[in-house]
A and B are shown apart, each in its own frame.
Chain A
Amino acid sequence: MKLHEYQSKQIFSRYGIPIPKGRIAVTAQEAEHIAEELGGRVVIKSQVLVGGRGKAGGIRLAKNPDEAEELAAQILAMEIKGLPVRKVLVDEAAQIEKEIYLGITNDRTARKPVMMSSSAGGVEIEEIARKEPQKIIKTHIDPLLGLGDYQARDIAAGIDLPREHWKSFGMIAHGLWKAYLDCDATLAEINPLVITSDNRLLALDGKMVLDDNALFRHPDLAEMRDLDAEAPSEIEARKYGLSFIKLDGNIGCMVNGAGLAMTSMDIIKLFGGEPANFLDIGGGASADKVTAALRIILADPNVRAVLFNVFGGITRGDEVARGILVALDEVKTKVPMVIRLVGTNAEEGRQILADANMITAETLADAARKAVAAAQAQPTKGAVS
């Protein structure tokens, strides 16, 4: 789960990291008031969960409160990469001498947190990694020991930070580590961390990504989720404990297991079709889960056919087949269904489905071929009747 800049910076501030004075505005007038409070010169920053806000014109400098109002009105009317701007952060404008990068993320390969820092801040870390990888200092942190003072000093020295800033840099590095730890973040990033013209360190921009699997111990953070950044169908699916991702194709997929669900998408593409979604209904395939999943898939008007791909292991194929029939009885639809059952008692399951006039398939390839053909033969939109 991604946090907005203002949310991330508020958290950083609680851990002693200096951030600019500023507040959130949802109207242009509010932005003007905040600019007045802050003494006139402010930065108006759109709060949307996508990269490239600056390039899209979503971050602007205002020289006075009037200009702040005008620019805030413009930005609040924008859509950036499809997301509406509902809030702007109005921050005191800083005089920047130098921009630094400082972030912590999980290194999957080392299986440890890694603190990354660079003297080339202000651009995305991926870009620094591409153009000037030698300018990134990577320090692995033992998850049982935490960040050492010496590590923070080594990083400061590694990015050629003047010695006078080492102490405050150390406090910021420790604050960021604590924030990362306490929030179960997978990314905590200050970019840029600047040296101001009056020689202070200041976190101008902040970004946090939290581990969805750890939100159970952070109900306060879980409430910060911005639903704008997610497709409504994905939000709906989460309610039923289904893992769903909307795609642009026209063949709906309902599969048990994430790996098999990805494979089903891949094979549809291999046989000339386009998957409409990723959907993992989890182990088994109970009638109520199948019903909920089917409703979510069929709510997409692009869907011309649905491919069920269920491996019956401990849940036997015949039980799965009966569950599917109950669900189809509940969700009446004209969209063709191609059902592939495999595994234990699959034969019996297929018979049950064939008796109910379903299109059945034995192999993955056969199922994909039939689903692609069914979608192509369906000229008009399928509809839930």
Chain B
Amino acid sequence: MSILVDKNTRLLVQGITGNEGLFHTQQMVEFGTNVVAGTRPGKGGEWVLDGKIPVFDSVKIAVEATGANTSVIFVPARGAADAMFEATDAGLSLVVCITEGVPVQDMMRVRSYMDQKGVRLVGPNCPGLLTPGATKVGIIPGDISIPGNIGVVSRSGTLTYEVLFALKQLNMGVSTCVGIGGDPINGTSFIDCLDLFEEDPNTDKIVLIGEIGGSDEERAAEYIASRMTKPVVSFIAGQTAPPGKRMGHAGAIVEGGSGLASDKIRALQAAGVSVARHPEEIPDLLQ
């Protein structure tokens, strides 16, 4: 069992003919993900990966032809919002946007529209999702994690890989790993994932990896204190980050005294969460 993606995922890749799109489609197929279609306006009718995956001009046509239910977006930033609107209108239930650098006002419009239509978004600026042993949607390396009972949710990419790999070294497996992305305005939040993990019978413990900027970790802490029965372990990156500077991720910035790592750590600890001083302490805290 898992959350959001599993064996029933029928994946559509938006931007399948680009370098990134094609490379990661191959990785996903090798992992066992059921990639049913791709889109690239103007290239409908072509096939990629030795004729295994059909390319369509639009998401709507691709969905009608293949029954895709989930989309992953590799479209460059200037077209990413349009790709998300298109996926929403085509009736997909889950949209995962990998693209980094989407303008924040675009994201506010996208979120508003998707919320009205009841479509779930993961990302943007995220590595996507991995359910070890079943499916992966996005770019998380497939071989750094094994199936298990730990749910992982994170705002980061390689830092998440670190944690997955450290868990694997100790034979600790993962139910699903969700990279929710490092942008200030994104889709699925920490709370959304905590809620799904709490309901998932195959997840027993949760790792939450946060970072400076915004107050999603503080709200997650409130949620954990009031609703969660499963134990949560956390790590927050950016304790040494100077204020007013964007630390790589568009959303990782301490502004006007808010978004500090120390405030997030305090809030999580007050909610009964064990907070690791560095990521290598996470496996110990889970045991």
Which chain A residues border B229 with CB–CB below 8 Å? Answer: none
User: B161 and A313: CB pair below 8 A?
Assistant: yes
**How many angstroms between the C-alpha atoms of A270 and B278 in the bound complex?**
9
Interface string of B233-247 (1 = CB under 8 A from A): 001011111100111
Could you say which of B113, B141, B277, B280 has the most chain A C-beta atoms within 10 Å of its C-beta? B141
B201 contacts chain A at the CB level, 8 A cutoff: no
Which chain A residues border B143 with CB–CB below 8 Å? Answer: 344
B172 contacts chain A at the CB level, 8 A cutoff: no
**Residue in A184, A258, A261, A364 whose beta carbon sits within 8 Å of that of B103 in the complex:** A184
Could you say which of A108, A144, A245, A278 has the most chain B C-beta atoms within 10 Å of its C-beta? A108
Interface string of A236-272 (1 = CB under 8 A from B): 0000000101010000000111111111011111100
User: A311 and B247: CB pair below 8 A?
Assistant: no
**How many angstroms between the C-alpha atoms of A363 and B166 in the bound complex?**
9
Which chain B residues border A283 with CB–CB below 8 Å? Answer: 157-158
**Residue in A181, A280, A342 whose beta carbon sits within 8 Å of that of B248 in the complex:** A280
User: A364 and B280: CB pair below 8 A?
Assistant: yes
User: A259 and B240: CB pair below 8 A?
Assistant: no
User: B108 and A363: CB pair below 8 A?
Assistant: no
Could you say which of A211, A255, A258, A259 has the most chain B C-beta atoms within 10 Å of its C-beta? A259
User: A365 and B108: CB pair below 8 A?
Assistant: no
**Residue in A108, A111, A112, A211 whose beta carbon sits within 8 Å of that of B215 in the complex:** A108
Closest to B277 in A: A270
Closest to A363 in B: B280
User: A258 and B182: CB pair below 8 A?
Assistant: yes
A343 contacts chain B at the CB level, 8 A cutoff: yes
**How many angstroms between the C-alpha atoms of A269 and B101 in the bound complex?**
30
Which chain A residues border B78 with CB–CB below 8 Å? Answer: 216-217
The tally of CB-CB contacts under 8 A between chains A and B is 165
User: A259 and B105: CB pair below 8 A?
Assistant: no
Interface residues of B in 238-287 (CB under 8 A from A): 238-242, 245-252, 256-257, 277-280
B87 contacts chain A at the CB level, 8 A cutoff: no
A109 contacts chain B at the CB level, 8 A cutoff: yes
**How many angstroms between the C-alpha atoms of A106 and B247 in the bound complex?**
18
**How many angstroms between the C-alpha atoms of A126 and B256 in the bound complex?**
7
User: B214 and A266: CB pair below 8 A?
Assistant: no
Given the contacts A259-B182, A364-B279, A314 and B27 also touching, CB distance less than 8 Å: yes
A121 contacts chain B at the CB level, 8 A cutoff: no
Which chain B residues border A18 with CB–CB below 8 Å? Answer: none
B209 contacts chain A at the CB level, 8 A cutoff: yes
Which chain B residues border A313 with CB–CB below 8 Å? Answer: 140-141, 144, 158, 161
User: B103 and A262: CB pair below 8 A?
Assistant: no
**How many angstroms between the C-alpha atoms of A121 and B181 in the bound complex?**
36
User: A262 and B279: CB pair below 8 A?
Assistant: no
User: A112 and B108: CB pair below 8 A?
Assistant: yes
**How many angstroms between the C-alpha atoms of A351 and B184 in the bound complex?**
40
User: A259 and B211: CB pair below 8 A?
Assistant: yes
**Residue in A108, A112, A142, A343 whose beta carbon sits within 8 Å of that of B144 in the complex:** A343
Which chain A residues border B240 with CB–CB below 8 Å? Answer: 247, 262, 265-266, 268-269, 275
Which chain B residues border A364 with CB–CB below 8 Å? Answer: 162, 278-280
Interface string of A285-327 (1 = CB under 8 A from B): 0000000000000000000000000010110000000000000
15 A-B pairs with CB atoms under 8 Å apart are A108-B184, A108-B215, A184-B105, A214-B105, A257-B158, A259-B154, A259-B156, A260-B159, A278-B245, A278-B248, A283-B157, A311-B162, A311-B165, A313-B158, A343-B161
**Interface of B toward A, CB cutoff 8 Å:** 27, 77-78, 101-109, 111-113, 139-141, 143-144, 154-162, 165, 182, 184-185, 209, 211-212, 214-215, 219, 235, 237-242, 245-252, 256-257, 277-280
Can you add 16 more A-B contacts, CB < 8 Å, to A144-B112, A270-B277, A342-B165?
A106-B108, A111-B108, A214-B106, A243-B248, A258-B182, A259-B154, A259-B160, A259-B182, A259-B211, A260-B157, A260-B162, A263-B235, A266-B238, A266-B278, A283-B158, A364-B278
**Interface of A toward B, CB cutoff 8 Å:** 106, 108-109, 111-113, 126, 142-144, 181, 184, 186, 211-214, 216-217, 243, 245, 247, 255-263, 265-270, 275, 278, 280, 283, 311, 313-314, 342-344, 363-365
